[in-house]
């Protein structure tokens, strides 16, 4: 397996994206102050959607008139979420949808430039996170929505990627967030490989990247869900994560950089496993030269010492140092004090010998 990092170098700290703050400026400052030069990308904090993630995006689409409620829910869990449909007599197209990423980037970019200049980290890049078309369609409309309307969500996402890149150029890294994809593999394990082959999950994540302009820098965040900090699944091993990550890398388009893959080794309210066998599949991770692997193991329910012990088990399984550490998901589903503590914990664990 090729190594993507200098084993003697400092591990990066990666933030998935959301942070419980009132403003982009506040969120960015806390993350940058806490991780400093360990950061390679700085998220916006996703402050408009930090608590409920995709729900505000979908509600915007309802307000735009392109979706309407078909089955009301209370959003207390992903199972009890509201489901939507296309209004009768209309056709869902990518051009009809404003997903809001360009507006987020316009607000964040001047703040980012100012903070980068003050911090003295010229290689830092702005991170814009967005769910994949599969995840967005699945959460908004269920399996039938994926079958009938995924193309429209893909077109809308690709259009906004192009618009943000026109605005920010090489200063932006896009994070494609594949929650529904990894959940499907985790829930069908040990038949997860057949699930990926049948649905083309990794291939279609790569296809979304192929729709971006050449030269676009992209990372992929694999996720097990964390609504109200509750994991949607508790995988028995890291094998589904490795299968999906390898599938994405195998199908990745030329001319677009796969900057990183972030893999959850914990999930919401589930701390990282203490079983070395859980991590053994990481020996088969094959992302290719230049693609970083960020281990999503930072969790608030264990000690620093336990986090470092887990990191060592992960790195023994991987056969090298991880390129960075992260929490399993965004910090926006946690109280502010816990989120800040996880920022500083990530920095301490990244510096472990």
Quick one: pLDDT at residue 203?
96
Mean per-residue pLDDT, 262-273:
89
Q: Which string of b and e fits 214-241 if b means at least 16 CB within 10 Å? A: eebbbbbbbbbbbbeeebbbebebbbbb
Predicted confidence (pLDDT) per residue in 194-226, tens digit: 888 889 999 999 999 999 999 999 999 999 876
Under the banding of pLDDT at 50, 70 and 90, the label for residue 127 is very high
Task: Report the chain's C-alpha Rg in angstroms.
Answer: 19
Among the residue ranges 32-46, 163-177, 217-231, 303-317, the one predicted with the least confidence is 217-231
The answer to whether the bond into 253 is cis (omega within 30° of 0) is no
Asked if residue 184 is part of any domain, the answer here is yes
Asked if residue 2 is part of any domain, the answer here is no
Quick one: pLDDT at residue 304?
95
Task: Tell me the C-alpha to C-alpha distance, in Å, between residue 190 and each of 187, 285, 300.
Answer: 9, 17, 29
Under the banding of pLDDT at 50, 70 and 90, the label for residue 3 is very low
Asked if residue 43 is part of any domain, the answer here is yes
pTM of the model: 0.94
pLDDT mean across residues, the chain? 92
What gap in Å lies between CA 44 and CA 128, rounded to an integer? 7
Quick one: pLDDT at residue 4?
44
Quick one: pLDDT at residue 235?
76
Predicted confidence (pLDDT) per residue in 33-53, tens digit: 999 999 999 999 999 875 567
Does residue 2 register a pLDDT over 50?
A: no
Quick one: pLDDT at residue 171?
97
Asked if residue 200 is part of any domain, the answer here is yes
Asked if residue 157 is part of any domain, the answer here is yes
Question: Is residue 35 within 8 Å of residue 325, measured between CB atoms?
Answer: no
Question: For tokens 């050449």, what's the residue?
Answer: 214
Helix (H, G, I), strand (E, B) or coil at 130: strand
- DSSP class per residue in 45-100: B-TTSTTTTTHHHHHHHHHTTS-EEEE----SSSTT--EEEPPTT----GGG---S
Mean per-residue pLDDT, 251-256:
97
Mean per-residue pLDDT, 249-270:
94
Structure tokens at 171: 């200063």
Q: How many residues does the chain have?
A: 353
Structure tokens at 285: 């991770």
Does residue 105 register a pLDDT over 90?
A: yes
Domain interval for residue 154: 12-350
What percentage of the chain carries pLDDT values higher than 90? 81
Q: Tell me the backbone φ, ψ of residue 135, rounded to 5 degrees.
A: -65, -45
Q: How many domains does the chain have?
A: 1
Mean per-residue pLDDT, 2-18:
72
Asked if residue 74 is part of any domain, the answer here is yes
Structure tokens at 306: 């336990």
Asked if residue 5 is part of any domain, the answer here is no
Does residue 7 register a pLDDT over 70?
A: no
What gap in Å lies between CA 120 and CA 195, rounded to an integer? 45
Quick one: pLDDT at residue 269?
81
Does residue 19 register a pLDDT over 80?
A: yes
Question: For tokens 């972030």, what's the residue?
Answer: 262
Quick one: pLDDT at residue 228?
60
Q: What is the crossing angle of helices 133-168 and 101-119, to 10°? A: 50
Quick one: pLDDT at residue 54?
85
CATH for 85 = 3.20.20.210
Asked if residue 1 is part of any domain, the answer here is no
Mean per-residue pLDDT, 307-330:
97
Quick one: pLDDT at residue 231?
66
Q: Tell me the backbone φ, ψ of residue 142, rounded to 5 degrees.
A: 80, -175
Quick one: pLDDT at residue 270?
85
Question: Is residue 97 within 8 Å of residue 54, measured between CB atoms?
Answer: no
Give the E-state strand segments of the chain in sequence order.
12-13, 41-43, 68-71, 83-85, 125-131, 172-178, 217-222, 257-264, 292-298, 324-327
Mean per-residue pLDDT, 240-252:
97
Quick one: pLDDT at residue 1?
33
């Amino acid at each position: 397996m090729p190594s993507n990092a200098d084993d003697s170098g400092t591990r990066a700290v990666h933030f998935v994206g959301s942070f419980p703050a009132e403003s982009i400026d506040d969120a960015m400052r806390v993350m940058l102050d806490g991780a400093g030069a360990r950061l390679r990308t700085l998220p916006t904090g996703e402050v408009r959607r930090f608590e409920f993630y995709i729900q505000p995006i979908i509600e915007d689409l309802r307000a735009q008139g392109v979706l309407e409620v078909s089955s009301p829910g209370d959003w207390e869990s992903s199972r009890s979420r509201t489901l939507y449909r296309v209004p009768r007599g209309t056709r869902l197209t990518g051009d009809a949808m404003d997903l809001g990423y360009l507006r987020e980037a316009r607000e964040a970019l001047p703040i980012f430039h100012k903070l980068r200049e003050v911090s003295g980290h010229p290689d830092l890049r702005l991170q814009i996170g967005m769910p994949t078309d599969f995840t967005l369609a699945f959460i908004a409309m269920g399996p039938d929505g994926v079958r009938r309307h995924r193309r429209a969500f893909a077109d809308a996402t690709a259009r906004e990627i192009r618009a943000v890149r026109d605005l920010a150029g090489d200063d932006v890294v896009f994070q494609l967030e594949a929650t529904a994809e990894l959940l499907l593999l985790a829930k069908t394990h040990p038949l997860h490989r057949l699930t990926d082959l049948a649905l083309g999950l990794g291939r279609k994540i790569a296809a979304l990247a192929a729709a971006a302009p050449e030269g676009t820098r992209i990372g992929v965040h694999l996720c097990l869900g964390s609504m109200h900090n509750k994991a949607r699944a508790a995988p028995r091993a890291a094998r589904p994560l490795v299968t999906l990550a390898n599938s994405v890398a195998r199908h990745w388009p030329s001319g677009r950089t796969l900057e990183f893959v972030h893999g959850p080794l914990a999930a919401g309210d589930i701390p990282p496993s203490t079983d070395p066998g859980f991590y053994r599949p990481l020996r088969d991770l094959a992302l290719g030269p230049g693609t970083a692997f960020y281990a999503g193991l930072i969790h608030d329910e264990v000690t620093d010492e336990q986090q470092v012990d887990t990191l060592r088990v992960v790195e023994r399984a991987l056969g090298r140092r991880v390129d960075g550490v992260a929490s399993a998901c965004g910090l926006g589903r946690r109280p502010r004090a816990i989120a800040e503590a996880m920022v500083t914990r990530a920095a301490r664990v990244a510096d472990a010998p």
